[in-house]
Structure 1
Amino acid sequence: MRKQKSKWTGGLLLMLLLSWGLAGHAGAASVQQDFYNVVIQDGADPWAYKHTDGYYYFTKTTGNNVTIWKSRTLSGLDAGESVSIETGGQNIWAPEIHYLNGAWYIYYAKDDGDNANHRMYVLENTSQNPLQGTWQDRGQVTDNTNKWAIDGTVLQVGNQLYFIWSGWEGNVNVSQKLYIARMSNPWTIVSDRVEISTPEYTWETNHNPHVNEGPQVVIRGNIINLIYSASGSWTNDYCLGLITADINADLLQSSSWHKRSEPIFKSANGIYGPGHASFTTSPDGTGDWIVYHNAKNNQSGWNREIRIQPFTWNADNTPNLGSPLAPNSKIPVPSGEPERIRIEGEEGQFGGVAYASGSPNGSGGMKAGHIDTADSFVEYSIDIASAGEYILSARTANGTTDLAWSTLMISVNGSDPAPFYITNKGWENWGLSTKRVHLQAGENVVRFTKGNGYGEIDLIDVFPAD
């Protein structure tokens, strides 16, 4: 059995840990204010909205329903409280949750099993908490052409609402264009649709069909920034483009919208096919963040994950997104999020055939693994000053042959082991597995044992859920 190694000594660490209620073993834990992408290890089309109650409301494509997560932190979205809403239909794509005129609205696309029949729909909930109350079906959101439509979003300028979406000009999938129309309320379009973007540049037309989709709007100063996705979503060429308009312009005139000739966010630094982004702020409102999906591997197509990173602004009030940050680089946590206790995977106690080994991409150059038999385990001790709900997030990897998902079994303080899911994207290609856990005051023992397939642990972060 491998003993824990001492990395921190003295009372300073203990004081820092106690300051927010978590006092991990001084010999194995450290206080950190950074994290590693990924934040959600599987999924696409992320939408994150920070409400006035201080919570993030998050959703993504799940395919057969709309699921909403509620979280105090951006980095902890995956472990948030959640609820699933049945919508009927099939192929539920790119839902978004908006708060408009004192009520909650979910916009989503669905069809009857035939993609040619994809249309936009909306649900309404007047409860203060969208995870409670009743979601009322407000029906289809459409203009008078009633053509193929996906990725709908709402732009509000003053008291006026506009609907922006990706659609077909006719009844055949030649190209996806972006359209805008005026709304009289959150579920009714009252003007003709106006085309504001068609695929035209080489980076928009390098795959068939040609694609403009995933429109998202961020207003800064007098500039409306419409960030959209272009190229084939199934390719490494998927990227983000930018269209702008003056907030005082006639937004139903195509000439009011001006497209940049180059993408503003594209594959780089080992991240492939970044796209379909949403935009929000840090918990304290001082920082701007992009939430986007990308391919899990080079050329992995629609097998995607979700990342976040900060961005800045140009002098002309347009976003400066930079490039996707490298997968093994540390990122400062969004401002206002709590510090976290980090325990390196190799700092655990090992049993059976499990042991620590070298990791070229690991945070400390080592990882916990080889949990390959029923009697193998790695466990970690965490001292907590105050009992409560915590998020346990582990940087994990799975390269099990012919298995999309692996599990380790996790037990907290001797509880019945439960699955801890790890997506398959290869060894040393680290993702993130999360679980919301209740920890008691004092010492807590978290143990990982053999599940289905194989998994490795680079590090574990623990921080308050609320």
Structure 2
Amino acid sequence: MKVNFRQKCLVALSVLLILPMGKVTLAVSDHNDFYNVVMQDGADPWVYKHTDGFYYFTKTTGGNVTLWKSAQLTTIDAAPTKVVNTGGSGIWAPELHYINGAWYIYYAMDDGDNVNHRMHVMENTAADPMQGTWQYKGQITDSSNKWAIDGTVLQVNGGLYFIWSGWEGNVNVRQNLYIAHMSNPWTIDSERVEISRPTYSWETNHSPNVNEGPQVIINGEVISLVYSASGSWTNDYCLGLITADISSDLLNPASWNKSNQPIFSSGNGLYGPGHHSFTKSPDGQEDWIMYHVAKYNNAGWNREVRMQKFSWNADHTPNLGIPVDPNLPITLPSGETMHARYEAEKGTFGGDAYASSSPKGSGGLKAGHIDTPDSYVEFSVDAAAAGEYILLARTANGTAGGNWSNFQLSVNAGPSSPFYITNKGWENWGLSTARVQLKAGMNKLRFTKGEGYGEIDFIDIKPL
């Protein structure tokens, strides 16, 4: 028996699971929630919502700057990309800013030796940063020309400021936060001013001492500079807060006041949250923080990207709370399209594959044991219109050796392609994504054995 089921997101399922005693259960349902993994691999996320309604995202890739363009926050991982070649090496924590009608990428780069990390900037005057030509504008520095990373731009009261993390001298004793005035988006025209150095116990519990990843957000008359502290390679990595009045002299260190406690740290089984960015929901009504965390306890620099909504304290500073429980769904950002969810245990199994218990799975069950060449789990998707769709799967990989694994994913019996799953342990669920081309009407999505092993909790389907 088949049921044609139209949904708000224009995707529906027409396969029913017929259970004993004649009970019939739909294998799909509309969902307005997600589990807060945005990317299953990556660090130093930067996301910017432009006036065109799109989100522009970037992160540390090491060898270049890669941009993603997405209409929705939860689908960034599967969004179209553009690689901007920068030359050099050690490309860290790029940020994309729109200033005075042009696009600017700020990024740290060295020549193969970390001691030579400095901030650099590129410009693109096209309306869409995925188009046009990126031109190198040069190194951006003050007269000291010391080690510098994690640069960001503050636009306030008609003024332009550059804020970054740097060394006081030529040796890595500690990372301080500095601010300087800018005469244009690629030129600093003042001396650097130190506005923070690691002093509290939660900032100095690892060596070298670190203040880095500064991000600014303004609410009312308060500028909140939220920064990362402690060792980025440890579970102690966290976010601290420095504030200034919007009308104060921002080049005066006395204008900045540091909180004596972190405002966002490990919790709910997530470790080392840090190096974040702030953005708005698609309808502009909600505030969201995107951040990286370790993939598992003591994972060090093996990190993933998550996000969650936050509120405001009475003093106009951000109330970030604690990292959301990774095994509890949270409501989609307001204005995002709902998606069709297919619980994996309700798929069609072949070979040795079958559904089994999942203590942290969305429905208490998962699809697994896809361990032999003839094993598979298959989903039947009825698309209301032909086109490109986004597939988001809650996946896990605990294959011995710690390597990535993959399924082979085929659509309508066509050629298969790898569907990658990071390795962070069984029942430590992550997110795997793909863009799939569906025809109008019935489609078959099949996951078969690839490299290593994996499990699926559910899949979500959204129009691109």
Matched ranges for 1:165-204 at <5 A: 165-204=164-203
**In 2, Cα distance between equivalents of 1:422 and 1:122:** 34
**In 1, Cα distance between equivalents of 2:252 and 2:412:** 62
Report how far residue 384 of structure 1 moved.
Answer: 1.0
**In 1, Cα distance between equivalents of 2:38 and 2:179:** 32
Report how far residue 130 of structure 1 moved.
Answer: 0.6
Matched ranges for 1:223-242 at <5 A: 223-242=222-241
Q: Does 1:22 align with 2:11?
A: yes
Which amino acid is the alignment partner of residue 98 of structure 1?
A: H
Report how far residue 403 of structure 1 moved.
Answer: 4.0
Report how far residue 254 of structure 1 moved.
Answer: 0.1
Q: Can you list the C-alpha shifts for 1:280-313, whole angstroms capped at 9, x where unaligned?
A: 0100000100000000000110000000100000
Which amino acid is the alignment partner of residue 430 of structure 2?
A: G
**In 2, Cα distance between equivalents of 1:10 and 1:375:** 29
Tell me what 2:43 maps to: 44
Which amino acid is the alignment partner of residue 449 of structure 1?
A: T
Q: Does 1:243 align with 2:242?
A: yes
**In 2, Cα distance between equivalents of 1:134 and 1:190:** 26
Q: Does 1:150 align with 2:139?
A: no
**In 1, Cα distance between equivalents of 2:461 and 2:420:** 17
Matched ranges for 1:42-441 at <5 A: 42-441=41-440
Which amino acid is the alignment partner of residue 40 of structure 1?
A: M
Q: Which SS does the other structure have where 2:115 is aligned?
A: helix
Report if aligned partners of 1:357, 1:367 keep a CA contact under 8 Å in 2: yes
Which amino acid is the alignment partner of residue 101 of structure 1?
A: N
Which amino acid is the alignment partner of residue 80 of structure 1?
A: A
**In 2, Cα distance between equivalents of 1:353 and 1:24:** 25
Q: Can you list the C-alpha shifts for 1:241-274, whole angstroms capped at 9, x where unaligned?
A: 0000011000000000000000000001101000
Which amino acid is the alignment partner of residue 432 of structure 1?
A: L
Q: Which SS does the other structure have where 1:184 is aligned?
A: strand
TM-score by length of 2: 0.96
Q: Which SS does the other structure have where 2:202 is aligned?
A: helix
Report how far residue 159 of structure 1 moved.
Answer: 2.1
Ranges in structure 2 where 5+ consecutive residues have no aligned partner: 17-25
Q: Can you list the C-alpha shifts for 1:419-455, whole angstroms capped at 9, x where unaligned?
A: 0000000010000000111211111110001111111
Q: Can you list the C-alpha shifts for 1:137-188, whole angstroms capped at 9, x where unaligned?
A: 0010000000000000000013211000000000000000000000000000
Q: Which SS does the other structure have where 1:225 is aligned?
A: strand
Which amino acid is the alignment partner of residue 104 of structure 1?
A: W
**In 2, Cα distance between equivalents of 1:85 and 1:405:** 26
Report if aligned partners of 2:290, 2:306 keep a CA contact under 8 Å in 1: yes
Report how far residue 112 of structure 1 moved.
Answer: 0.8
**In 2, Cα distance between equivalents of 1:231 and 1:366:** 38
Report how far residue 339 of structure 1 moved.
Answer: 0.6
Q: Which SS does the other structure have where 2:401 is aligned?
A: coil
Tell me what 2:19 maps to: none
Which amino acid is the alignment partner of residue 34 of structure 2?
A: F
**In 2, Cα distance between equivalents of 1:417 and 1:432:** 19
Report how far residue 375 of structure 1 moved.
Answer: 1.0
Ranges in structure 1 where 5+ consecutive residues have no aligned partner: 1-5
Report how far residue 20 of structure 1 moved.
Answer: 3.3
Q: Which SS does the other structure have where 2:11 is aligned?
A: coil
**In 1, Cα distance between equivalents of 2:11 and 2:390:** 12
Alpha-carbon RMSD across the aligned residues, in angstroms, is 1.2
**In 2, Cα distance between equivalents of 1:37 and 1:170:** 40
**In 2, Cα distance between equivalents of 1:374 and 1:219:** 55
Q: Can you list the C-alpha shifts for 1:53-79, whole angstroms capped at 9, x where unaligned?
A: 000000000011100000011111101
Report if aligned partners of 2:9, 2:339 keep a CA contact under 8 Å in 1: no
Report how far residue 10 of structure 1 moved.
Answer: 8.5
**In 2, Cα distance between equivalents of 1:412 and 1:277:** 36
**In 2, Cα distance between equivalents of 1:157 and 1:241:** 21
Tell me what 1:3 maps to: none
**In 1, Cα distance between equivalents of 2:53 and 2:246:** 27
Report if aligned partners of 2:367, 2:455 keep a CA contact under 8 Å in 1: yes
Report if aligned partners of 2:402, 2:424 keep a CA contact under 8 Å in 1: no
Which amino acid is the alignment partner of residue 24 of structure 1?
A: L
Report if aligned partners of 2:9, 2:340 keep a CA contact under 8 Å in 1: no
Aligned length: 454
Which amino acid is the alignment partner of residue 361 of structure 1?
A: K
Report if aligned partners of 1:403, 1:453 keep a CA contact under 8 Å in 2: no
Q: Which SS does the other structure have where 1:454 is aligned?
A: coil
Report how far residue 37 of structure 1 moved.
Answer: 1.9
**In 1, Cα distance between equivalents of 2:256 and 2:377:** 57
Report how far residue 404 of structure 1 moved.
Answer: 2.0
**In 2, Cα distance between equivalents of 1:65 and 1:10:** 48
TM-score by length of 1: 0.96
Which amino acid is the alignment partner of residue 374 of structure 2?
A: D
Report if aligned partners of 1:24, 1:381 keep a CA contact under 8 Å in 2: yes
Which amino acid is the alignment partner of residue 159 of structure 2?
A: Q
Q: Which SS does the other structure have where 1:132 is aligned?
A: coil
Identical columns (%): 67
Q: Which SS does the other structure have where 1:62 is aligned?
A: coil
Tell me what 2:20 maps to: none
Q: Which SS does the other structure have where 1:39 is aligned?
A: strand
Q: Which SS does the other structure have where 1:196 is aligned?
A: strand
Q: Can you list the C-alpha shifts for 1:86-134, whole angstroms capped at 9, x where unaligned?
A: 1111110000000000000000001111111000000100111111110
Report if aligned partners of 1:37, 1:431 keep a CA contact under 8 Å in 2: no
Tell me what 2:21 maps to: none
